[in-house]
Amino acid sequence: MTDDDAVSADLAGRVRRLLGDNDPATTSAKQFLGARFDAGLAWVHFPVGHGGLGLPQTAQSVVDDALDAAGAPGPARSRNGIGLGMAAPTIAALGTEDQRTRFLRPLYTGEHIYCQLFSEPGAGSDLAALATRAVRDGDDWVVNGQKVWTSGAHNAQRAILVARTDPDVPKHAGLTYFIVDMSDPGIDIRPLRQITGEAEFNEVFLTDVRVPDANRIGEIGNGWRVATTTLNNERLAIGSGAPREGGMIGKVAALWRQRPDIRDPAVHDRLMQLWVDAEVTRLTGERLRQQLAAGQPGPEGSAMKLAFARQAQEISGFELELVGEEGLRYDDWTLRRPESVDFTGREPGYRYLRAKGNSIEGGTSEILRNVVAERVLGLPAEHRVDTKIPWKELRG
């Protein structure tokens, strides 16, 4: 028996015991997910005692497939994508033992939905230029500032926050990373209506919000490194993970099969080009996840997110061409406050409009091209004049 076979057999036994002690048919989702976390089957590559078993990430599929087949509830990925895909791996990698204990289990069970307090009106693509300030006051930090484009803040109990703690050093060096309780006094959440008519995004104002130093992830002034860990996980999460014919291409392929009236050879050729493109990206993402099984995602995830954004926009545009005037119908323009982000939900008109945001959220495509060029391909960096100047002088 190989080592991989032994790991798979051990995990299969752990899954059987979990199901035997917690029948999915009679156990609440919260209770089942808590038991799964305690058994180390939430993220098998996470540390022992914090939802994992210290195994390679590739072993997770053994657990997921078995539990899916048993009809067991899974974590709320659509509602808590930021928590599960971004906050959790950051806390696991860089948090203290106490922080892992306090934050990871309620995140996994869905008791704590997370949002991301990163971007600001004057610091989007250039995140390191952010101006939200955190000033030390005893065992707390007092935070003041404004964040924007905050997905799901209206549903969140916790947030990952990057704030400036030292304005006297260059912009990347003066940042610190925190976990914030979104119910704390001084947090004002306001909706931002999007082109789709809904408001999954928000602007968030923080006025004298007190954050315990115990909620600081990483060292003071090391927030850029922590934030980069989060962003690398975000781009990999957004840009990969769909099954074959998942996501936008699945919608168009299903439409093609259901509607003989829209078929002709030219359209068929375009559909096949898009299908192959999506499949290449899917397989590349799978290979990337396997390569990263032993460590944290790196800048390569930026290429996956780039491909995802481009393909979503091309495919959704192609879908509108296929359905013609049907694509002009839109079921609801009223202001919605959705519980989750659904890139492929609703009708073709919604998908076409929603895809426009894919090249902005999670890092603009322009910035990600710089990341790929400089950090993956090793091309010369763009000339930057502000990386060694104290941040306060840049504001002046």
Q: Residue 255 corresponds to which tokens in the numbers above?
A: 């439409």
Contacts of 294 (CB under 8 A, 6+ apart): 56, 57
CA contacts within 13 A on the Cβ side of 3: 3
Question: Which two three-digit tokens encode residue 309?
Answer: 């954004």
State the amino acid at position 45 in one-letter form.
Answer: H
Of 200, 234, 314, 319, the catalytic one is 234
The contacts of residue 61 (CB under 8 Å, 6+ apart) are: none
Residues with Cβ within 8 Å of 128's Cβ and at least 6 positions away in sequence, in order, are: 171, 172, 175, 224
Rounded distance, CA 269 to CA 154, Å? 43
* Per-residue buried b or exposed e for 276-315, using 16+ beta carbons within 10 Å of the residue's own CB: ebbeebbebbeebbeebeeeebbbbbbbbbbbbbbbbbbb
Look up 234 and say whether it is catalytic. Answer: yes
Report, as residue numbers or ranges, the catalytic residues: 234
